[in-house]
Amino acid sequence: MDTKGDVLMQRYELGKLLGHGNFAKVYHARNVLTGMSVAVKVIDKKKVLKSGMITHIKREISVMRLVKHANIVRLHEVMASKTKIYFILEYVKGGELFDKLAKGRLKEDAARKYFQQLISAIGFCHSRGVYHRDLKPENLLLDDEGNLKVSDFGLSALAETKRQDGLLHTCCGSPAYVAPEIIDQRGYDGAKADIWSCGVVLFVLLAGFLPFHDSNLVEMYRKIAGARFKYPNSFPVAAKSLVSKMLDPNPITRISIGDIVEHPWFNTGLVSEPVITETGAGGGDGGGGNCNCNAFDIISLSRGLNLSGLFNDNGEDEKEVRFMVKQPASIIISKLEEVAKILKMKVVKNNGVLLRMEGGLVVDFEVLEIMPNVHLIEAELVAGDRVGFREIMSEHIRPALTSVTEPSE
């Protein structure tokens, strides 16, 4: 049982409990080697397995690995024991933006600053194919310098989870902040749904109350569907046109991120913020190659810390395999094509880095550059027998490629 004073993996000493939910507890902690403060999210494996939330946890890790931005809470690393998973997160000690709203509406300049930082973060997420889907003041934190940090990507979605119609279909989010097209349970554009939620957040910052509120949930949904709300007299006139365009019930005509950042009210006093924040050993983006992974990214994606292994010690039932090879992408693709020919499987390529093998099984391969001539291979069984998938991976694919030594701590 994790308690105050415990030292996780001989690296992080747990402090006070910051919060808790159904599956996790969040503690303040200290890195015993560097003294750096972090937040540790402790997830109970058993509860997650019973609730069928494995996919959500894996997605949250994958998403947070993609979105490194000055206004997004940083995931430093992930660790696991037999019973728990530990997210080591940036410690944001200024509390929730929600707490500031308990005193009423914010001054216009303060609200604008937070909104500018929110749009900067969400625009970056969308550029990486990530949709948050649960934007609200409770999920917006403030650091000790008063800068906004977007948190809680547990309900987020990746562009690759869209169906063939190019839309998302999972109904999620907090009722008062959710877009009308999600309530209607028709397919929706994740980016446009996030923009609606950002519009509700902006209204709350400037008004001090929700635009859509009713004790009867059905009636509240009707108000959302018709975008029926009223501005208080105190609401800044220049901000009304922006909010109205964000709270357009038609997602097709709803304003885009690009148009938001061009709006005069948004641009007032705008200060450019750094986008990527790489810290720690392993470097990040500062020099040579196309690598945008730090040391943790490489370790967490290696076989030693495969996300699947966080839940399944033997990996026998998994449909995904990840490993690294120390070869140029052209050679990797060529060797995969040779194996496909031997196995009498058809090959379909997409830009040379995504390859599909079809024939009895359907397996997708993605080749991701970690650093010059070092690539991460992701293989996913799309259709077919898992036993057959494991067989071709262990007897044909892996032997055909030279794996590098697995990183270790």
User: What residue numbers does the annotated binding site for ATP cover?
Assistant: 41
Asked if 67 and 124 touch (Cβ cutoff 8 Å), the reply is yes
Q: Which of 2, 134, 189, 194 is catalytic?
A: 134
Known active-site residue 134: yes
78 phi and psi, to 5 degrees?
A: -125, 135
In b/e form, how buried is each residue of 295-318, taking b as 16+ CB within 10 angstroms? Answer: ebbbbbbbeebbbeebbeeeeeeb
Asked if 57 and 42 touch (Cβ cutoff 8 Å), the reply is no
Asked if 67 and 47 touch (Cβ cutoff 8 Å), the reply is no
In b/e form, how buried is each residue of 371-408, taking b as 16+ CB within 10 angstroms? Answer: eeebbbbbbbbeebeeeebbebbeeebbeebeeeeebe
325 phi and psi, to 5 degrees?
A: -135, 145
Kindly give, in sequence order, each residue whose CB lies less than 8 Å from that of residue 75, ignoring residues fewer than 6 positions away: 61, 64, 65, 87, 88, 89, 90
Active site residues: 134
